[in-house]
Amino acid sequence: MKTSLFSLIIFFLSGSGYVHATTEWSDLNEKVESLYFQGDYVGAIAVAKKALQIAEIDFGPDHSNVAASLNNLAEVYRAQGQYAVAMPLLRRALLVNEGALGPDHIDVAMNLNNFALLLHSQGQYTEAESLHKRALEIKEKTLGPDHVDVATSLNNLAALYYSKEEYSQAEMLYKRAMVINEAALGLDHLSVATSLSGLAALYEENAEYAKAEPLYKRALEIVEKALGPEHPTVAASLNNLASLYFIQMQYSQARPLLKRALDIWVNTLGSEHPDVATGLENLAQLQRKTRQDKEADSLEKRAAAIREMRR
């Protein structure tokens, strides 16, 4: 059963350059972030496109504020699973900021972070690792080793190592990130939930189920409180806890979690999103284990159709 590790993206609310007397552009960027965290990706894309248009007119095509708008638009597309659309936007954002701010600027590190997440999503682990490490190096040098932005890079690099099955490295990074975030942000911050979810997945992988369950539950509680019960990240957390129950053959506990996760993903992301395919595949696995093969066949066909569309 597939788990869904959380990754932390970076939104740019004002960029590093000047802002004109009008606050329209910065207000639009704030609205993009708000809509994103509400799970309204369609609305966020519309606003992000308007912000990009204004930035290009007001600041010129090579200004760091344009890079900020490119980044924000790309991140919403990535959340929707539209990786091919997001890729050139993130590439351009990185190039603009490297030219405008220099290769070691903190905003460049944030561009690198998001570009690496996109590559990770597509299974391009070698390039993603290189970008994550470069981003981490810039942040540690610029902000110091105990800054929350450093913890963000640690979490995201840890998730990559998890995908590569390099579990000891992932565990070390998740633990370091959690220490930083708990100290700086408190016990109930979303960044802490990211580390909790990652550590729980590692413990699950090593059959340490008693250690994994309270971490998954705590992560779910944090994201529900922070984002509301119908957010896609809540669905990911539900899916992860269900995976733990599934592997222990606690099917009656896993089923309602998987169904709720699938409903959230369909309602917020649309019926053709890759996360919906994951939800369908996971529910199909459970149906087969409980001898509901006809239902499993139907779910698998729906998932396969989504995967085929995304190729």
Whats the size of the chain, residue-wise?
311
CATH number at residue 93: 1.25.40.10
Measured in whole angstroms, how far is the alpha carbon of residue 31 from the centre of its chain?
19
CA 212/CA 142 separation, integer angstroms: 34
Q: Which of 96, 119, 142 is the last residue of a domain?
A: 119
Mean pLDDT of 126-147: 96
**Ramachandran assignment for 74, one of left (phi > 0), alpha (psi -120 to 50 degrees), beta (any other):** alpha
pLDDT tens-digit profile of 77-111? 988 888 999 999 999 999 999 999 999 999 999 99
pLDDT tens-digit profile of 237-294? 999 999 999 999 999 999 999 999 999 999 988 898 888 999 999 999 999 999 999 9
Please, which pLDDT band fits residue 6 given cuts at 50, 70 and 90?
low
Measured in whole angstroms, how far is the alpha carbon of residue 235 from the centre of its chain?
12
Report H helices in the chain: 24-37, 41-59, 64-79, 83-101, 106-121, 125-143, 148-163, 167-185, 190-205, 209-227, 232-247, 251-269, 274-289, 293-309
pLDDT tens-digit profile of 8-48? 555 554 444 444 434 888 889 889 988 887 778 889 999 99
Computed over every residue of the chain, the mean pLDDT equals: 90
> What are the two backbone dihedrals, phi and then psi, of residue 207, each rounded to the nearest 5 degrees?
60, 25
Cβ neighbours of residue 268 closer than 8 Å, sequence gap 6 or more:
39, 41, 230, 231, 232, 235
**Given this model, what pLDDT does residue 297 score?**
94
CA 215/CA 117 separation, integer angstroms: 23
Please, which pLDDT band fits residue 5 given cuts at 50, 70 and 90?
low
For the chain, how many structural domains are there in total?
Answer: 2
Q: Which of 100, 119, 138 is the last residue of a domain?
A: 119
What pTM was estimated for this model as a whole?
Answer: 0.78
Please, which pLDDT band fits residue 3 given cuts at 50, 70 and 90?
low
Domain carrying residue 292 = 228-311
Report H helices in 60-105: 64-79, 83-101
**Percent of the residues in the chain that have a pLDDT greater than 70, as a whole number:** 92
Q: Which of 55, 85, 119 is the last residue of a domain?
A: 119
Residue 182 lies in a domain: no
CA 112/CA 132 separation, integer angstroms: 7
**Given this model, what pLDDT does residue 161 score?**
94
**CA angle in degrees (0–180, nearest 5) for 96-102-108:** 65
